[in-house]
Amino acid sequence: MNKTLLITRPKHDTTVHYLFYWSKKIIELAQEKSIKVWDLKGKRANRKEIEGVLKKREPSLVFFNGHGDDDRIAGHNDEALLVAGENEELLISKIVYALSCRSGKKLGYESVKKGALGYIGYDEDFIFFIDQNKMSNPLMDKTAELFLEASNQAMICLIKGHNIKYSHEQSKRIFLNNARGLINSESEQSYLIPYLLWNMQHQVCLGDQNASL
């Protein structure tokens, strides 16, 4: 399969606004690695466009950024892009990282049942903190960085060709290291520790653990 990345980046509220900017780093890395990128951003993160790219372009790797629930991942204005029982078979033969709340609880399992090679996601709410002084420039937000850098690590590893198990573990390791760093330094940001650990403990890795690009 050709190495192609499909990424969804809605931008309609503060949370996805942050994911929009932080996931740009992943696009840049993919392009450096000569991976073709289908960037469905803003209004283009809609069901029709996503289904079209999944069917016609057959990306090998899919990175969802958006809100979610047990059985779904959403896009622009929270339109459901993928729903268990409706269109999860579109992920057949693909590796998925869903930076989205709770989709690892049901949609991930159903996707793997229908043929997705691997699915990294979260079986609970993904939580992060925002510095209100940095909202206009999310990439300068050192508080959000502790969370979104750890999340991005899963995609960095996948793009570099590592399998999903390793990529999942490396992402969890960054969450843990960031939490440890806050303890060791007696940082004023130590209040973030429970939330970093929460994300670490609720990141799930489903499917063939050896699956890679």
Partner 1 sequence: MENKKEESKIDGEFKKIVIATLEVFPSDKKISIGSVGEFTKEEMIENVENETDVGEKIVEIQLNYLRSFKEGIFYEQNFADNQT
Contacts with partner 1 by CB under 8 A lie at 13-15, 18, 67-69, 74, 78, 100-102, 125-133, 143, 153, 156-157, 160, 162, 166, 169-170, 172-173, 176, 179-180, 183, 188, 191, 193-195, 197-198, 201
How far CA 100 is from CA of 17, 42, 76, 134, 182, in Å, comes to: 13, 16, 13, 22, 25
In the complex, least distance from residue 189 CB atom to partner 1, rounded to whole angstroms = 8
If phi over 0 gives left and psi between -120 and 50 gives alpha, with beta otherwise, what is residue 102? left
Instruction: Compare residues 83 and 198 and give the one whose CB is closer to partner 1.
Output: 198
Q: Which residue shows structure tokens 């004023």?
A: 188
SS3 95: strand
SS3 184: helix
Evaluate the CA torsion angle 93, 95, 101, 105 in order and state its sign. positive
Instruction: Compare residues 58 and 125 and give the one whose CB is closer to partner 1.
Output: 125
Instruction: Compare residues 59 and 138 and give the one whose CB is closer to partner 1.
Output: 138
In the complex, least distance from residue 14 CB atom to partner 1, rounded to whole angstroms = 5
In the complex, least distance from residue 97 CB atom to partner 1, rounded to whole angstroms = 15
Total Cβ atoms within 10 A of residue 68:
26
In the complex, least distance from residue 203 CB atom to partner 1, rounded to whole angstroms = 12
Instruction: Compare residues 31 and 189 and give the one whose CB is closer to partner 1.
Output: 189
